[in-house]
Structure 1
Amino acid sequence: MLLAHPVVLWGLVREYEALKVLHGEDGGAVARQRMDDVAYSLCLSTGTQDVDAALIAARFQLPGARIEDDSVLAE
């Protein structure tokens, strides 16, 4: 499976979370469509079929998320 570049993945996670917080269910058609688009991109990037699973997988793939990546954070 191809993995998304960490910068791209981090951007998708941040955008999805921002849209969820700022717009949620009441954000209108444009905001809802953007959330759906970002959720789809997250699923595609992580090889999942559910946005919640995609968010978990994305965070796991990002540097610093795994124990062996702790040295990256210390630098």
Structure 2
Amino acid sequence: MAHPAILRNLVEQYEALQIRHADEGSIETLRRLEDVTYTLCVSTGTQTVEAALAVAEQQLTNALAETVPVAPGRAGTGVVDDEVRLTA
């Protein structure tokens, strides 16, 4: 399983290159898109970009859930400590 930061970066690159390729349609952009698609598939253990994106989304969601602080004594309940405030 790829590190979440690497996986997030691959997904962002894929999305950006898709838009760029749709706008430009250049061979260079297509090659870069194919490279990122291949790497994304290898990183997620899948064979299609659709499956890779679905697995990446699930892995990133799981990684985010693991970083949310849980109140002492309530571990595993999903209850977040009232004192914790997340900001953007």
TM-score by length of 2: 0.68
- Residue 30 (structure 1) aligned to one of 28, 37, 55: 28
Name stretches of at least 5 consecutive residues in structure 2 with no aligned partner.
70-84
Identity of aligned residues (%): 44
Name stretches of at least 5 consecutive residues in structure 1 with no aligned partner.
none
The residue aligned with 2:51 is: 53
1:58 and 1:20 map into 2 onto residues whose CA distance is 17
2:8 and 2:67 map into 1 onto residues whose CA distance is 19
Q: Of Structure 1 and Structure 2, which has the larger fraction of its residues in helix?
A: 1
The aligned length equals 70
Q: Which has the higher contact order (CA 8 A, sep 6+)?
A: 1
- Residue 69 (structure 1) aligned to one of 43, 65, 88: 65
- Residue 37 (structure 2) aligned to one of 23, 31, 39: 39
CA-based RMSD? 2.4
TM-score by length of 1: 0.79
CA displacement at 1:72 relative to structure 2: 2.2
